[in-house]
Amino acid sequence: MVEDLRQRPRVVRPSGGEEAGGGIGDVLARGVTAGFVKVFTTLARVRGGRPLHPQGVVLDATLRLSGRSRGWGVPFLDDAAELRGVARMSRSVGLPTSVPDLLGLALRWRAPGGEESELLLATTGSGALGRFTLRPVMRWSPQFYGSLLPYRAGDRLVMLGAIARGDREIPADFAALEGAIGEGPMVLDLVVADGKGAWERFGELVLSGPARSDESEPRRFNPIRRPILGLVPAGLFQQLRGPTYEAVQQVDRGGSSGK
């Protein structure tokens, strides 16, 4: 699985088309993309526009990037900066809070150049193989949130993550999250790993109130539209995001972008 993810991605356009190229790999990619689009648009129709993460809490986000002596060639990872944005924390399947669910942490911020960037994280394992696997959990914090899918930074494959510190335990229901944020910010360490290597801290994420629901005006995220400068989505499953998000947005016409 990891070897497949290391292949340099072809470009898949938001409309679902591809750059010129042929072969079995291209045919397979088109077939897999069509399958994903079909599944998620069907779910969107059944679930009222959002196939996953139907409910969430929106928070203010501050990203305090510390900069690093070892350069990755990516401003987000290398430069010291304080960036402002928003975060949405959600339960993926929408199961009752008495059972584990996949938790999501979606981030959007404005980079120093003025452009917006986004990063989607979810509860995964943190080990060499576990970081490629989604993990249902019962609490927002302490917790590990990973990118699940890799990015290319130059000629290196990298994974991103955020570690909610263990200073307090917050059960994975929205009332508990809103109550905890009302008492004080939730702080996570931002981390990066070179492929399956060790995680290295490059900053912190501070989530603060007021906590608010986006039920009446759903906030949508699409990291394909708002990429992180210098980080290129890598692998087949990253390619599926653009066409799938765009197709879901066609179903949910009230949203500004898809998640």
pLDDT by residue for the chain (259 residues), tens only, comes to: 333 333 333 333 333 333 444 455 455 445 544 554 444 444 444 445 555 557 889 999 999 999 876 688 999 999 999 999 999 999 987 778 889 999 999 999 998 888 999 999 999 999 999 999 999 999 999 999 999 989 999 999 999 999 999 889 999 999 999 999 999 999 999 999 998 999 999 999 999 999 998 876 677 788 888 999 999 988 655 565 555 555 545 545 444 334 4
| pLDDT (0 to 100) of residue 127 | 96
DSSP code of 132?
A: G
Domain-located, residue 93: yes
- Domain total in the chain: 1
Domain-located, residue 253: no
Domain-located, residue 99: yes
Domain-located, residue 251: no
* Cα–Cα distance, 18 to 12 (Å, whole number): 5
Specify the pTM. Answer: 0.75
CATH of the domain at 74: 2.40.180.10
> Own/partner pairs for 37-43, CB < 8 Å, 24+ apart?
37/243, 37/244, 37/247, 40/244, 40/247, 40/248, 41/247, 41/248, 41/250, 41/251
Domain-located, residue 110: yes
Separation in Å, CA 62 to CA 150, 203, 251: 23, 10, 32
| pLDDT (0 to 100) of residue 30 | 54
| pLDDT (0 to 100) of residue 17 | 37
Domain that holds residue 97: 55-233
Domain-located, residue 42: no
User: Do residues 190 and 205 lie in contact, with contact meaning Cβ atoms separated by under 8 Å?
Assistant: yes
Domain-located, residue 35: no
| pLDDT (0 to 100) of residue 59 | 97
User: Do residues 163 and 191 lie in contact, with contact meaning Cβ atoms separated by under 8 Å?
Assistant: yes
Domain-located, residue 6: no
